Amino acid sequence: MSSNGLKYGLNIRGKTASASRKPGITFDDDFDEDDEEPDRQTRSSVRLEEPIVEQEVDSSVYGYDEYYDSMKQVEREKEQKKKMEAQDRRPKYMADLIAASKTRKRDLLLAKERALKKRREEEGDVDEAFVTTSYVKHQEEVSKELADQEAEEAKLKSSGRGLEQFYSNMLEQQEEQHQAAVHASMNRNATSSSADILASKKSDKELAEEARKRGLHVELNDENEIVDQRQILKAGLNTSIGAVKHPNENQRDKNAKPWFERKGGRKHYESRSSAYSTQSYSSTTTALDMREQERQARLKREEEERRKREEILRTHTSHTTTQAQVQSARERYLQRKRQQQQQQGNVSGNGDAK
C-alpha cells in the first residue's frame, strides 16, 4: 500500500457527502412576506390616487358625449332655422329673375336708343326733338342705374381677387363655424345632453310594470333586471334609447398597445399591404395590355384601309388606261379606213378619166 492510501488493482473511491442545498426562497424560514406588503400597498394607493387627481383637475374630463352635443348644438340651430325658412314657402329665386328681366329690358331700350341716335347723326337730322316728361324721367332713372352699376363693377374690380377671394371667404366661414362650436362647448348649455338621455331612459322595473299593465307576464331576477327582453316587445319596430356610459367607464388603458403591435396585427397588415400591391400591379398590367391590344388593332385597321385604297386606285388606273388604248386603236382603225377609201376614190377617178 502506498503512502497516499492507494492499493494495487482497481481503486474505487467512496461517495463524498454532498453539501445540503439550501431550500428555495418559497420555503425559506427567513423570508418574511411582511417586507413586500408595504410596497404592494404603496402601488395600490398610487393607482387609486391617479383617478382622484384627474377628477380634482377637471371632473368633466371624460364627458365626451356632453362636449359633442354642445359642439353640435350650433349645427342643430342652423338646421332648425333652415326648416323654419322652408315652411314660409317664399320664392327663393324669383326676385333675382325679376331683377335680371328688368336689366335685360333696360339694356334693350338703351341699345335701340343708341342705334336711333347714331342713325340720326349719320342722316344729318338736326330737327328739334320733342320729348315728354315721362321720357325724361325714364332717361334719368336709366342713367342713375348705369352709374350705380359702373360704381359696383369698379368696386368689385378693385377689391376682388378672383379665386383667392373665394377661398378666403370660404375659410372665414369655416373658422366662424369652428369658433361657434368651441364657444358652445365651453358654455356647456346644450339643451339635449347625455344627462337628459340618461334621465329619459326607463329602468327594467318600470318597463316590467308597464308590461304587466298591458297584461304581459314579465319575470325579474334578484337585481330587478328583466330575464327575457322579448317579453316586453311590442308590435312593430321596437326602438330604445341606448345606455349612456358613466364617465369613469370611458377611461382608456394607458398600457394598451396600438393595433399593429398586437398579436397578429403586423402580420395581417403586411399581408393586406402585399395583397393590395399585387392587385394594383395586376390591374396596371392589365390596363397596359389592353392599351397595347387596342393600338395593335388600330394599326391593323389602318393597314387594311390603306391596302383597300391602293387596290381601288390600281384598278381604276388600269381600267382607265385600257379604255384609252381602245379609243386610240379605234381612231387608228378609222384613220386607216378613211385612207383606204380615199385611195379607192382616187383610183376610180383615174379610171374614169382614161
What is the mean pLDDT, run by run of 10 residues, along the chain of 354 residues?
59 57 50 51 56 58 75 83 77 85 87 86 69 81 84 76 77 84 66 48 76 78 75 61 47 50 55 62 76 90 89 69 80 91 79 58
Q: Is the same domain home to 191 and 216?
A: no
**What is the number of domains present in the chain?**
2
Cell of 80: 332648425
Q: Is the same domain home to 81 and 135?
A: yes
Q: Is the same domain home to 81 and 152?
A: yes
Note whether 211 and 218 are within 8 A (CB): yes
Determine the Cα angle at 132 with ends 131 and 136, to 5°: 85
Q: Is the same domain home to 125 and 220?
A: no
- CA nearest to 215, candidates 231, 200, 197, 199: 231
Q: Evaluate whether residue 316 is within a structural domain.
A: no
Q: Is the same domain home to 165 and 214?
A: no
What's the Cα-to-Cα distance from 189 to each of 193, 197, 244, rounded to whole Å?
A: 9, 15, 19
Q: Is the same domain home to 173 and 214?
A: no
What's the confidence (pLDDT) of residue 276?
A: 60
Q: What's the CA gap between 310 and 303, in Å, rounded?
A: 11
Residues 98, 100, 105, 109, CA torsion sign: positive
Q: Evaluate whether residue 214 is within a structural domain.
A: yes
Q: Evaluate whether residue 107 is within a structural domain.
A: yes
Q: What's the CA gap between 168 and 234, in Å, rounded?
A: 54
Q: Which of 170, 195, 220 is the last residue of a domain?
A: 195
Q: Evaluate whether residue 172 is within a structural domain.
A: yes
Q: Is the same domain home to 86 and 171?
A: yes
Rounded to two decimals, the pTM is 0.26
Q: Is the same domain home to 144 and 207?
A: no
Q: Is the same domain home to 140 and 207?
A: no
Q: Evaluate whether residue 151 is within a structural domain.
A: yes
Q: Which of 142, 169, 195 is the last residue of a domain?
A: 195
What's the confidence (pLDDT) of residue 299?
A: 92
Q: Evaluate whether residue 180 is within a structural domain.
A: yes
Q: Is the same domain home to 190 and 223?
A: no
Note whether 220 and 208 are within 8 A (CB): yes
Q: Is the same domain home to 183 and 70?
A: yes
Q: What's the CA gap between 153 and 150, in Å, rounded?
A: 5
Tell me the Ramachandran region of residue 124: left when phi exceeds 0, alpha when psi lies from -120 to 50, beta otherwise.
Answer: left
Q: Evaluate whether residue 20 is within a structural domain.
A: no
Q: What's the CA gap between 300 and 310, in Å, rounded?
A: 15
Residues 32, 34, 35, 37, CA torsion sign: positive
Containing domain of residue 83, as a range? 61-195
Q: What's the CA gap between 85 and 108, in Å, rounded?
A: 36
Q: Evaluate whether residue 350 is within a structural domain.
A: no
The three-class DSSP label of residue 243 is coil
Q: Which of 143, 170, 195 is the last residue of a domain?
A: 195
Q: Is the same domain home to 68 and 177?
A: yes
